[in-house]
Structure 1
Amino acid sequence: MAQAKQTRGLRRNLKEQLRRDQIKEAAINLFSTKGYQQSTMEDLAAEAGVSKSLIYWYWEGKGALLSELVDTCMNRYIDLLTDAVNSDDPFIDRFYRTLWQYLEISRQSDRLNKLVHFCSLHTPKDKKEDFARQVNNHYRKVLDLLETLISQGIKTGYLPSATDGPAMALALLSLTEGHIYMSILEDRLSLERVYTGIFFLLFDARQKNGSGKANSGAASAAPL
């Protein structure tokens, strides 16, 4: 009897999660094509194929839904960087693993990334919809984690001792944000190709100068 109730509960929770995911995916589609300000709850209900009351059951409004999408997007990168700085693996292994995982997340979340970028430029009429502040708070966490990772690279000798950690962290984040914006305007080189060119050049130069610890096997193991 108890097991049957537990099974029904699990099925109900799964159904609830699938419904939420369905609505969130519809919101990404709608906000990305029509625009957040121009989209109504009626539009969202039609896009998701559900009733408007069901959306209100999960969120108090479209602002709360978009806020959750922002957190979902940014927390993926924050969790990835947190794992990287806390790992005991050699720096070069952590660095390349984190880079390729980051690029994979970026590919999978392309539309959501672009939506969050627009949110960061959004001027709120309602304090509850201060998406710019929300996104910026996430950016601060990303910058702190990047600075920590870069500092670890300096301490282990994989990055030059003169490396300006805060400047490099900001440059990496700016590169990503700039690529997202430029890709909105028209198709560009993939972010993977951009990062590959920059970091392989950096570590290859260190190896040729005899000052880097990265071996050619670690560098060549990264996919092009």
Structure 2
Amino acid sequence: MYLNREEKKISKRKCILDAAMRLFSKNGYEQTSIEELAREAGIGKGTVYSYFQTKKDIVRAFCEDELEYTRSEITAKTNPDSPLKDQLMIIFMAEFRHVTRNSEFGRLYLQEKVFPREHHSQEDLEIQNRYFEMLYPIYEKAQKRGELSSDLELLHISGHFYALYLLVVSCWYNGMIPTEEIAASMELLLLQTIDGLKPQTN
């Protein structure tokens, strides 16, 4: 099948990311060289550098893909007026599927995202801001509907819910929650937290 120039670029980028996931999982992030990655992907070393200057850029690309996948899931499966719990379930289950499709690479990705080896770069901060830009309108609408107290800071709301997601993913990695129970566990925690963040009535 003939691929145009843009399709070839997308295909090569995916090939590099897939090779990185395999090698990072098998050999470790630090132990994997760009040369080994190029060999695994079946392309030249220079081609890898034309897409990603460093291994950190590869992890960042995985983060960008996660964000776009989550955004597409929200667009396809919910609407801005859906209950907050339903929208958050779409978001966090999409993130869970994306991160755990390769469990070892997902572990590395989460470590870099939550406990990075170095301070976030400008590119990392831009991705983080895009993530907040996706979430904040959802929380603002929930506040207007009375699902969340209006005096809560949006950043703090984000922290509450993301902490729940990290807890569930952590429990999956250590075997406390099996895959088939992830959605039910996530839903229960979200409902409990939303109930606690509702406006207080006298």
TM-score, length-scaled by structure 2: 0.68
Q: Which residue of 2 aligns with 1:154?
A: 143
Do the aligned partners of residues 159 and 60 (structure 1) sit closer, same or farther apart at CA in structure 2, a change above 3 Å counting?
A: closer
**1:173 and 2:162 aligned:** yes
CA distance, structure 2, for counterparts of residue 22 and residue 164 of structure 1 = 41
Structure 2 unaligned blocks of 5 or more = none
Structure 1 unaligned blocks of 5 or more = 1-6, 125-129, 206-210, 212-224
Partners of 1:82 and 1:145 within 8 A in 2: no
Indicate the RMSD between aligned Cα atoms, in angstroms: 3.8
User: 1:25 Cα deviation (Å)?
Assistant: 0.9
**1:27 and 2:24 aligned:** no
Q: How many residues align?
A: 189
User: 1:164-203 alignment to 2 at 5 Å?
Assistant: 165-184=154-173, 186-189=174-177, 190=179, 191-201=182-192
SS at 1:122's partner residue? coil
Do the aligned partners of residues 137 and 162 (structure 1) sit closer, same or farther apart at CA in structure 2, a change above 3 Å counting?
A: same
**Larger of the two Rg values belongs to structure:** 1
Partners of 2:164 and 2:186 within 8 A in 1: no
Alignment match of 2:39 (pick from 31, 46, 58): 46
TM-score, length-scaled by structure 1: 0.63
Alignment match of 2:116 (pick from 114, 117, 122): 122
User: 1:1-224 alignment to 2 at 5 Å?
Assistant: 10-77=3-70, 79=71, 89-92=80-83, 95-100=85-90, 102-110=92-100, 111=102, 113-120=106-113, 121-124=115-118, 131=120, 135=124, 138-143=127-132, 145-159=134-148, 165-184=154-173, 186-189=174-177, 190=179, 191-201=182-192
Alignment deviations for residues 43-80 of structure 1 (CA, whole Å, 9 cap, x no partner): 21233233323323333343333332333234444x36
- Percent identity, please: 18
| Letter aligned with residue 108 of structure 1 | H
| Letter aligned with residue 86 of structure 2 | Y
User: 1:164 Cα deviation (Å)?
Assistant: 6.4
